[in-house]
Structure 1
Amino acid sequence: MEIRHLDFEHAARCAELEQLLFPEDNPWPRDIFVVEFAQPNNLYLGVFDGDDLLAYGGISQLGPRHDPEFEIHTIGVDPEHRRKGLGRLLMQQLMAIADNLDGEVFLEVGTDNEAAIAMYEAFDFHRIGERKNYYQPSGADAYTMKRAARSER
């Protein structure tokens, strides 16, 4: 397994995984990933087995470099490769980026996604709010979670 930066050539596979993972909630198409990858403040990483993309995740840096905050845009693991630590591996890398600049991190997660919530809590995320009908078109609710900056933990 290897972690690599994602770029335009990986957008179609990310969209394919989105369709598998989030069919009820407006999965991102290839073009959205292309736009996301092009943004200078975004970083997308993938876990690869050879040339096969098994998991992906993206983080965005917001605010000035001297006082940044970060937002996890998405994270997903191929259903055939879940429960192997791939999501945790991606989170370690994404959180290292935020910790390096001492920024707090925010994300949204479905209130029924117990596995993801448990993983985020293991990375010191705490629920700070709930967004009703956040995911569309399903109308599923989401928790907003926050991880304090390294200097505040």
Structure 2
Amino acid sequence: MSALAKDHPVLRPMRPEDVERVIDIEEKIYAFPWTRGNFLDSIRARYHCYVYEVPGALVGYGVMMVAAQEAHLLNLSIAASWQRRGHGRELLAHFMRIARDHGARAMVLEVRPSNDVAAHLYRGAGFRVVGVRPNYYPAENGREDAILMERPL
């Protein structure tokens, strides 16, 4: 097996026993992370929860809900040590395929205006701004709006 194949992340469904590793990443990369309960509730609700991993390391994870032919990407995260290598783009592409496979015709998501890296990723994948959700996110000094983005699938 080549080093490239060995180091290429594999997507698999998130299990409750993965949540501790997920939370470890979440708390390192976000000032206002999701809670353990958020992830466990998403698994119980049968949202599309996946981890992206290589042997011995969690590269990233995501959570998506699909209903009424629309996918709502709720969380897409890459561990800090794995960022800027194209993994976010690959993980997003996986979620778009999963959404299409489950009958979604469009994907929507929210992103913080202050999260330039994520907004750039989504624009590069064909998402466009369709609105703003005022005071959506907790922030250091109160609340921050969310930019609502959408992409046809």
CA distance in 1, matches of 2:104, 2:121: 21
Please tell me the root mean square deviation across aligned C-alpha atoms, in Å: 1.4
Does 1:39 find its partner at 2:45? yes
Which sections of structure 1, spanning at least 5 residues, go unmatched? none
- 1:75 corresponds to: 76
- 1:141 corresponds to: 145
Matches within 5 A, 1:3-82: 3-23=11-31, 25=32, 27-40=33-46, 42-63=47-68, 68-82=69-83
Q: In structure 2, give the amino acid aligned to 1:117.
A: A
Q: How does the TM-score come out when normalised to structure 1?
A: 0.85
Which digits, 9 at most, give the CA deviation of each residue in 1:9-43, with x for residues without a partner? 111111121111212x2x12222211111112x11
- 1:96 corresponds to: 97
Give runs of ≥4 in structure 1 deviating > 4 Å.
none
Work out whether residues 71 and 104 of structure 2, in 8 Å CA contact, stay in contact via their aligned partners in 1.
Answer: no
Specify the SS of the correspondent of 2:34: coil
CA distance in 1, matches of 2:106, 2:148: 13
- TM-aligned CA deviation for residue 102 of structure 1: 4.3
What is the aligned counterpart of 1:130 among 121, 132, 137? 132
Specify the SS of the correspondent of 1:136: strand
Work out whether residues 45 and 58 of structure 1, in 8 Å CA contact, stay in contact via their aligned partners in 2.
Answer: yes
The number of residues matched between the two structures is: 142
Question: Percent identity at matched positions?
Answer: 25
Q: How does the TM-score come out when normalised to structure 2?
A: 0.85
